[in-house]
Amino acid sequence: MRKEHRYFVYILTNKSRVLYIGVTSDLPARLYQHKNKLIDSFTKQYNVNQLAYFEETSNVLEAIAREKQLKGWRRSRKIALIESANPDWRDLGTDLLGPDPSLRSG
């Protein structure tokens, strides 16, 4: 039996609504890396670690093409895309990873 491959195009943000667009085959693992600053990159420097939007596909070439397409859009169009699916800018990563342990009391 052939295993279905999954690829994700995602948009991360922070409190200042800086946007970062990426692609991955393992969204929970990539979010964990971003949230724990394990990737020495733009997202680490600007604390961009909240998942605002994502799309899933089974085709890696489609995912890469979509990432490039989104990166080419004006900021206003990216924001409209996020707000069409996530109007409150909730951190969708919480659904994948659970709440931030640093926010727990006790």
Residues 6+ apart with CB under 8 A from 38: 32
Query: How far, in Å, CA of 35 to CA of 47, rounded?
Result: 8
> Which pLDDT does position 63 carry in this prediction?
98
In a domain, 13, yes or no: yes
Give the count of domains, the chain: 1
| Torsions phi, psi for 11 (to 5 deg) | -120, 125
The per-residue pLDDT for range 23-44, each reduced to its tens digit, is 999 999 999 999 999 988 899 9
| Torsions phi, psi for 74 (to 5 deg) | -65, 155
Whether residue 98 is predicted with pLDDT greater than 90 in this model: the reply is no
Is this structure's pTM higher than 0.85?
yes
In a domain, 55, yes or no: yes
Confidence of residue 2 (pLDDT cuts 50, 70, 90): low
Structural domain containing residue 31: 7-97
CA angle 46, 90, 87 (to 5 degrees): 110
In a domain, 78, yes or no: yes
